[in-house]
Amino acid sequence: MSLNLKEKIIIAGAGASLVILAVILILGRNKKGKKMGSESKRLKSLAEDDLNKWRGKRETDPSVSDTLVGYWKLVGKYFTPSQMQSSSFQSGNPWSAAYVSHLITNSGYQNFTPRSFHSTYVVDAKENKTQGKKASFWAYRPNEKKVEEGDIIVKNRGGNFTYDTIVRGAATHGDVVVDMIEKEGIPYAVIQGGNVSNSVTRAEVKLNTDRTLPDNYIAHLKYVK
C-alpha cells in the first residue's frame, strides 16, 4: 500500500518525536546519575586536597594548626592553634573522628551530624537505619554490603565492641573509602583518615572476594538516598 505525501509527513513527524523523547530520557538519566554521584566526586577532590596539604606534616606542625582548629570547631570543640602544637594535648585529644566529620560534611552528604567519636556517628547511623531515614548514613554489619566509594568503615581501637554492642563514646576508629582498586583480581578499598601516624594518610584494605569488609571491622556505613 502506497502512502500519500500527508501520511508520509505524519509518520516522519511521529518518528522524529520518538527520537526526541528518547534523547530527553537518556539525558535525564545521565543528569540524575551525575547528581547521584556528586557527593562522591566532591569527596575524592577534597580528600586529594587534604592529602596534599598534609604531605610531610604532622599534627603539631604550625602550618596545619588552623586546619586542625577547623576540624574541631566542626564538632563543637573550640581549641587554639597553640594547643594543636602541643604533643601532650594531641596525645589526649585524638582528632580522627573530627577529620571524618570534615570529609563527609564538606563533601555534601546530608543529615550527618559531625562527631568527636566514631562510635557516636555509628550509633547515629544505626538509628537512621532503624527509623528508615533516607538521605543519611545507615550502619551495616561488616559482611552485609559491598564496599563502595563514600562509605565509612569502622573498627575497634583498643576495645572489644561489636556492631551490636557499640555505644556512643566507645573507643573505635573510622576511615572514609575514597577509591576502589583491584590487585591481581583481589578487591581493595583505598581509605583515608586523620590522626593516623599523627597526620592525614591513605591505606589499602584488602576486602573479601565479594567486596565486603574483613572480620576485623565492626561497622560499615553507607549513604542511603
Among 29-43, 119-133, 161-175, 185-199, which stretch is predicted with the lowest mean pLDDT?
29-43
Mean pLDDT of 168-191: 97
Does residue 203 belong to any structural domain of this protein? yes
Task: Name the band, by pLDDT with cuts 50, 70 and 90, for residue 25.
Answer: very low
What's the domain count of the chain? 1
Rg (alpha carbons) of the chain, rounded to whole number: 23
Does residue 112 belong to any structural domain of this protein? yes
Does residue 22 belong to any structural domain of this protein? no
Give helix 96-106 / helix 38-54 axis angle, nearest 10°. 140
Does residue 196 belong to any structural domain of this protein? yes
Does residue 28 belong to any structural domain of this protein? no
Mean pLDDT of 4-27: 46
**Confidence (pLDDT) at 158:** 87
Q: Report the alpha-carbon angle 191-70-178, nearest 5.
A: 15
Domain span including residue 139: 38-224
CB 197 within 8 A of CB 179: no
Does residue 31 belong to any structural domain of this protein? no
Condensed to tens digits (0 to 9), the pLDDT of residues 47-106 reads 999 999 999 999 999 999 999 999 999 999 999 999 999 999 999 999 999 999 999 999
Task: Name the band, by pLDDT with cuts 50, 70 and 90, for residue 15.
Answer: low
Distance CA 37, CA 180 (A): 15
Does residue 117 belong to any structural domain of this protein? yes
Does residue 128 belong to any structural domain of this protein? yes
